[in-house]
């Protein structure tokens, strides 16, 4: 009977070693999966978008870009100083500008200059550039679109 007990004890030790190895392998596999499926720390911090409630009724009475482009621009003295040729946004998307077509006659000899959109005023279906003069606008650098 001693032999049978020794055999059982030896088999128990062998099974215990196998179970220990299996537990170690399973633990290593679970840690690997956890590390691989976790948040990628090098991807930067998560960003949130802050939503702003807009008064759509008030906005609907505003000016559409398709109506603004092509509008004549006048100064304080109601003299036409140019025409809005295009609306532009800075590369970072934060600063709007108006490209004004100035000078020339019937579109010949005109060139573009850019003014910050915030300098324009809208009143009585007119676009007003306070303090703007033809001479002052002609002193601004000529604007040309990028080729790309």
147: in domain: no
DSSP helix/strand/coil, 122:
strand
- CA pair distance 44, 59, nearest whole angstrom: 36
Q: What is the pLDDT of residues 100-109, one digit of tens each?
A: 998 877 667 7
Residues 93 and 133 in one domain: yes
Helix (H, G, I), strand (E, B) or coil at 71: coil
State which residues form the domain around 31: 2-35
- Out of 19-33, 44-58, 118-132, which region has the weakest mean confidence (pLDDT)? 19-33
Nearest 5°: CA angle at 96, between 126 and 80? 30
User: pLDDT tens-digit profile of 119-141?
Assistant: 999 988 899 999 998 899 999 99
67 and 127, same domain (yes or no): yes
Helix (H, G, I), strand (E, B) or coil at 51: coil
| Residues 22 and 89 occupy one common structural domain | no
| pLDDT value of position 44 | 66
54-95 pLDDT per residue, tens: 888 888 888 888 888 999 999 999 999 999 999 999 989 999
Helices (H), 78-142: 134-138
pLDDT band at 39 (very low <50, low <70, confident <90, very high): low
The answer to whether 95 touches 108, Cβ cutoff 8 Å, is: no
The pTM is what?
Answer: 0.61
CATH for 79: 2.30.30.240
Residue 119 lies in a domain: yes
Q: Are residues 27 and 79 in the same domain?
A: no
Per DSSP bridges, beta strands 121-123 and 126-128 are antiparallel
Report how many domains make up the chain: 2
In a domain, 56, yes or no: no
Together in a domain, 73 and 31 = no
Same domain, 29 and 72: no
Token pair belonging to 15: 């099974």
How high is the mean pLDDT of the chain? 80
Walk across the sheet containing 111-116 and list its strands: 111-116, 96-102, 80-89, 72-74, 126-128, 121-123
Structure confidence at residue 73 (pLDDT): 94
Q: How far is CA 101 from CA 9, 65, 74, 90, in A?
A: 98, 16, 12, 19
| CB count in 10 Å sphere of residue 110 | 15
Residues 7 and 67 in one domain: no
């Amino acid at each position: 009977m001693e032999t049978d007990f020794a055999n059982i004890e030896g088999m128990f030790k062998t099974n215990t070693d196998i179970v220990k190895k299996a537990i170690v392998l399973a633990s290593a596999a679970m840690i690997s999966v956890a590390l691989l499926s976790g948040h990628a720390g090098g991807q930067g911090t998560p960003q949130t978008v802050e939503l702003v409630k807009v008064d759509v009724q008030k906005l609907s009475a505003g000016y559409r870009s398709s109506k603004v482009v092509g509008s004549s621009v006048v100064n304080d003295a109601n003299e036409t100083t140019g025409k809005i040729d295009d609306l532009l946004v800075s590369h970072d998307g934060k600063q709007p500008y108006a490209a004004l077509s100035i000078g020339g006659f019937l579109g010949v000899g005109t060139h573009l200059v850019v003014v910050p959109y915030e300098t324009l005023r809208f009143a009585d279906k007119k676009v007003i550039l306070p303090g703007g003069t033809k001479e002052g606008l002609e002193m601004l650098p000529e604007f040309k679109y990028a080729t790309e």
